[in-house]
Structure 1
Amino acid sequence: MRTCRVGLVGAGGVAQRHARVLSGFADVELIGVVDVTEAAAAELAGAHRARSYGDIGQLLDARPDAVYVCVPPFAHGPIEEAVVTAGIPMFVEKPLAVELPTAERIAGLVAERGLLTAVGHHWRYLHAVTRARELLVGRAARLVSGAWLDRVPPVPWWSRRERSGGPMVEQAVHVLDLIRLLAGEVTEVTAYGDGVAPPVDGADVDSVTVAALRFAGGAVGTLGATCVLDWKHRAGVEIVADGLALELAEDALTVRDADGQRRFEADPDGARVAVDRAFIDAVRGVGDDVRVPYAEALRTHRLAVAVAESARTGRTVRLTAGATRTAPVGAARDA
């Protein structure tokens, strides 16, 4: 395959970013865009000399080599089912869904077809993340502290739990994915929400959530998230191992060990390009660097849903490796 013909589902901000990146690749042709808002699809398609289509069926009839699914959390499911049924390689933006059953169902279909997939956890393509993993070789994580301290994103669906899944599922999932990558699998979650919705019409998500995490390898940790600010303050993770402290954000890695402190700059824009480049190369058969296929993203999604479930129900949630669902344990905590 000399040119990869790509169809795009969604025309929002994330879809626009992917369209810009893909249009910059000499071996990619963006052939079509679908969105529930036809005017948005037409505008994005026109900006990249593509065609707008009325629905996913029409886009698939154009026989793309790959499809990008860049839709809000509540819209996942039917689109992926159609793409998988057509047997077309698929890139899905996070989160995989609002809840777990939809993602589990899609993962099963993907596995049955043996389909090439990728999910947009672009932080895994940061050179700083690679460096952090190298530094942790032979040193088990002992203490983990993650955070996503931000504002309410300017989209109407985000502050409604049934539309976004909540901050842990929609935003902090990036940090949870890093936590899994660097510190290993989480086996137990106990989370608390503050029960106070942000001052947005119709909002019902918690403004603040904190979770305690227990890891299979023996580490313990926390993750805090909030949307009460007017700016994005911090997003990242700190990891302490024997004789080593790492602080990793999207823009840099700070390392402290016996040799002192040093800082490694990161390139988030480069990572956003790299995640697309890796997927296109895999579709074309000239590369094999997809770091987060759908099945791997599902593991992170299970963790995010477990945190949200614990905060919502007041119960500790245990995650079993390889299980298709999380299992609450113990009695509900006092309100």
Structure 2
Amino acid sequence: MTRLRVGCVGTGFIAGRHLAALSGFGDVEVVAVADPVRERAEVAAARVGARAHADGLALLDAEELDAVWLCVPPFAHGPLETAAVARGLPFFVEKPLALDLDTAREVARQVEDRGLTTAVGYHWRQLDVVRRAARLVPAGAARLVTGSWLDKTPGVPWWPRRDGSGGQVVEQTTHVFDLARLLAGEVVSVAAAERPAADDGDVSTAAVAVLTFASGAVGSISSTRVLGWRHSVGLQVVADGQVLELTERSLDDHELRVVTADGEEVHHTDADPIAAEDREFVDVLLGRAERVQVPYAEALRTHALACAADRAARDGGTVRL
């Protein structure tokens, strides 16, 4: 059996989920882990029998890899992807693609020029409940879309700062924007507003975006970070004669509720979407599958939408895509 030699840059929560999945695959060998805090790199590497590095570029310089997972904060994107492209190294990258749109566009150009295989962590697309929802609302069927990410502020110091996270809309709510694109099609314009930041940084405490879709559908997506718990993360789609509600209670707890005049159906899954997206990328690299669901170019469309919503909120105008 062919085994992929892979590395992982980052050791946070989501990196840990990827490392757990990858180390459980019989056709993958995790050979290296990197983190700017050396102790964290050593602990994570020891769990999977890998070597530790003090940063991602050092890992890319030192190791012979078949692919790399880039699970870093938004502010760290750009140089790592450029280094991977220069080496012709396929990469999986966690969302968001970058702090801004220009950085992501430049990486996308490099990836396209090199013809590199990539994947991005919009994990909802791996779920059977999301695929079921997509079948129930074919192209152009959605009339109204409403979404939300109502949550607490993550506890890492870089998150409340725009130069660290890019803001809640870009860093978190991007998942909801991705679902909206998947189920209702492309957005042609965004208007938005936000409530000013709190004392902990310059990321707004609440924001709402109003979307106009190419199909004629309209929608709104709201974000807030002022709660002490995750209250609501999900998307509601209204089509003729039916309402679909997708909810994420946790990374391993997703639900689809389908409501019609005849009653409602509830579909639940506790599948691991992180392991599923890792398996998909590995299978593509090993030639067992044709393509990934979210390559870099597809993720760029969602990132552009989230960045447009963020800019519209800060400028108080309408952004056309």
Structure 1 length-normalised TM:
0.91
1:12 aligns with 2:28: no
- The amino acid that maps onto 1:2 is T
- The amino acid that maps onto 1:264 is H
Among residues 255, 259, 280, which one is paired with 2:258 in the alignment?
255
1:158 is displaced (CA, Å) by 0.6
Look up the SS of the partner of 1:26 in the other structure: coil
Aligned to 2:313: 311
Runs of 4+ deviating beyond 4 Å? none
1:54 is displaced (CA, Å) by 3.5
Look up the SS of the partner of 1:312 in the other structure: helix
Aligned to 2:34: 34
Over aligned residues, Cα RMSD in angstroms?
1.3
Aligned to 2:223: 225
Distance, in Å, in 1 between the alignment partners of 2:73 and 2:103 is 14
- The amino acid that maps onto 1:32 is A
Residues 49-86 of structure 1 deviation map (CA, whole Å, 9 limit, x = unaligned): 10012443442342111100010000100000000110
Aligned to 1:266: 269
Q: Relative to 1, partners in 2 of residues 1:285 and 1:171: Cα closer, same or farther, differing over 3 Å?
A: same
1:148 is displaced (CA, Å) by 0.3
1:282 aligns with 2:274: no
Distance, in Å, in 1 between the alignment partners of 2:198 and 2:95 is 22
Aligned to 1:292: 294
Residues 68-117 of structure 1 deviation map (CA, whole Å, 9 limit, x = unaligned): 00100001000000001100110000000010110000000000000000
1:139 is displaced (CA, Å) by 6.0
Q: Are the counterparts in 1 of residues 140 and 184 from structure 2 also a CA contact under 8 Å? A: no
Q: Relative to 1, partners in 2 of residues 1:311 and 1:19: Cα closer, same or farther, differing over 3 Å?
A: same
Give the count of matched residue pairs: 315
Q: Are the counterparts in 1 of residues 139 and 185 from structure 2 also a CA contact under 8 Å? A: no
1:3 is displaced (CA, Å) by 0.5
1:289 is displaced (CA, Å) by 4.7
Aligned to 1:243: 241
1:284 is displaced (CA, Å) by 1.2
Unaligned runs of 5+ in 1: 320-335
Q: Percent identity?
A: 52
Q: Are the counterparts in 2 of residues 91 and 120 from structure 1 also a CA contact under 8 Å? A: yes
Aligned to 1:49: 49
More displaced stretch, 252-261 vs 162-171 = 252-261
Structure 2 length-normalised TM:
0.95
Q: Relative to 1, partners in 2 of residues 1:139 and 1:303: Cα closer, same or farther, differing over 3 Å?
A: closer
Distance, in Å, in 1 between the alignment partners of 2:41 and 2:147 is 36
Residues 101-155 of structure 1 deviation map (CA, whole Å, 9 limit, x = unaligned): 1000000000000000000001001110000011112661000001000000011
Unaligned runs of 5+ in 2: 249-253
- The amino acid that maps onto 1:223 is I
- The amino acid that maps onto 1:259 is D
